[in-house]
């Protein structure tokens, strides 16, 4: 199982996923779980998926789902079937050299046949994920530890015991096939 924190530490709240991955790596990680700080290099995630035999992928990222800042959500990203795409569409979609977002990295992993059967995203509603500068807004920073606890809970639910978790957090599970910006109304 792979856990991957996405984000750009130089773009404010966009660094959320990396900060959660750092927190997870600061304590023991159970055997059978790889925690990666992907940053903006999603191609690294695809390379890791090529090397492993993962049955699940948990992504961590800042999202915009129209909720109050710091709200955590668990989303099941849609899978993209490229079989109906033309050669030009596939080439254009897969030509990105960085795969900086989870969506782009998943697209390449799916095209290469290495995307695990279970994919979930632990997302945090950001205040601003595009402003230049380091550091998370207070509401987003306060969600780092609860997000790490949610990742541990999800991993445990997928069959790998990661019991040294903090108190359970309330998250919202969206319908399968949803992604940032499209979750059920509050």
Taking only the tens place, the pLDDT of each residue in 33-53 is 999 999 888 888 888 898 878
Instruction: Give the pLDDT confidence of 55-103 residue by residue, as tens digits.
Output: 999 999 999 999 999 999 999 987 777 767 777 776 666 666 555 677 7
Is residue 179 very low, low, confident or very high in pLDDT (cuts 50, 70, 90)?
very low
Is residue 185 assigned to a domain? no
From the list 112, 75, 76, 77, the residue with the least C-alpha distance to 93 is: 112
Instruction: Give the pLDDT confidence of 99-156 residue by residue, as tens digits.
Output: 567 777 888 888 888 889 999 999 999 998 778 888 999 999 999 999 999 999 999 9
Instruction: Give the pLDDT confidence of 128-138 residue by residue, as tens digits.
Output: 877 888 899 99
For the chain, percent of residues with pLDDT exceeding 90: 51
If one counts the domains in the chain, the total is: 1
Q: Which domain holds residue 91?
A: 2-173
Cα separation, 35 vs 24, in Å, equals: 7
For the chain, percent of residues with pLDDT exceeding 70: 81
pTM recorded for the entire structure: 0.81
Is residue 29 assigned to a domain? yes
DSSP notation for 71-118: -EEEE-PPP---TTS-HHHHHHHH--SS--SHHHHHHHHHHHT---SE
Is residue 167 assigned to a domain? yes
Q: Are 158 and 43 in contact (CB under 8 A)?
A: no
Query: Residue 70 maps to which CATH number?
Result: 3.40.50.1450
Is residue 180 assigned to a domain? no
Is residue 110 assigned to a domain? yes
Is residue 107 assigned to a domain? yes
The reported pLDDT for the residue numbered 109 is: 85
């Amino acid at each position: 199982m792979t856990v991957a924190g996405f984000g750009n530490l130089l773009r404010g709240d966009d660094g959320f996923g990396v900060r959660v991955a750092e927190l997870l790596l600061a304590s023991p990680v159970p055997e059978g779980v790889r925690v990666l700080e992907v940053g903006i290099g999603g191609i690294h995630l695809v390379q890791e998926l090529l090397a492993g035999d993962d049955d699940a992928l948990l992504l961590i990222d800042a999202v915009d789902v129209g909720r109050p800042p710091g709200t955590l959500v668990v989303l099941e990203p849609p899978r993209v079937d490229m079989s109906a795409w033309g050669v030009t569409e596939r080439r254009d979609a897969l030509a990105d050299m960085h795969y900086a977002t989870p969506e782009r990295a998943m697209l390449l992993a799916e095209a290469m046949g290495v995307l695990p059967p279970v994919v979930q995203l632990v997302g945090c509603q950001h205040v601003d994920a595009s402003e230049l500068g380091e550091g998370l807004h207070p509401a987003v920073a306060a969600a780092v530890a609860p997000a790490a606890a949610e990742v541990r809970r999800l991993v445990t639910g997928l069959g790998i015991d990661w019991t040294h978790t903090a108190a359970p957090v309330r998250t919202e599970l969206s319908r399968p096939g949803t992604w940032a910006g499209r979750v059920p109304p509050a």
